[in-house]
Amino acid sequence: MNNTDPRSSALRLGRIWTATSYSLQGLRATYHHEAAFRQELMLAAALIPLAFALALWSPLTGTQCALLIGSVLLVLLTELLNSAIEAIVDRISGDHHALSKRAKDTGSAAVFITLVNCSVVWAMVLFDVFG
């Protein structure tokens, strides 16, 4: 099929719908199985509206607001990837293995770094605006 075929746009929409469905299933599964993701989601539920409120009622710029929100979303993204790593490792083997531990610890370290990044971004932006 080429781009002039009317079915090609319908097929693309079908793929988008399917991909969205898989993404929502992944979010749902992570929410149900990962306490850390639920905690970080609660943090996001508080911080993202706060960033928008600050953008409306303070001298916070759009770029600063985007930095605040982006740093929070990066934490969620990294936790999703970490959860995927943990699920794969657990699926492969329930045995304790040094490489399994390293994979899980590395994923955890990635989440930790994004949490530090989020804290630094929020501190620097808020200091820049209110300090």
Structure tokens at 64: 């600063």
Residue 120's closest CA among 58, 61, 74? 74
Rg (CA), the chain: 19
Our answer to whether residue 86 is catalytic in this structure is: no
The C-alpha atoms of residue 107 and residue 80 are separated, in whole angstroms, by 10
| Cβ atoms 126, 67 nearer than 8 A | no
Options 34, 40, 79, 86, the catalytic residue: 79
Question: Which residues are marked as active site?
Answer: 79
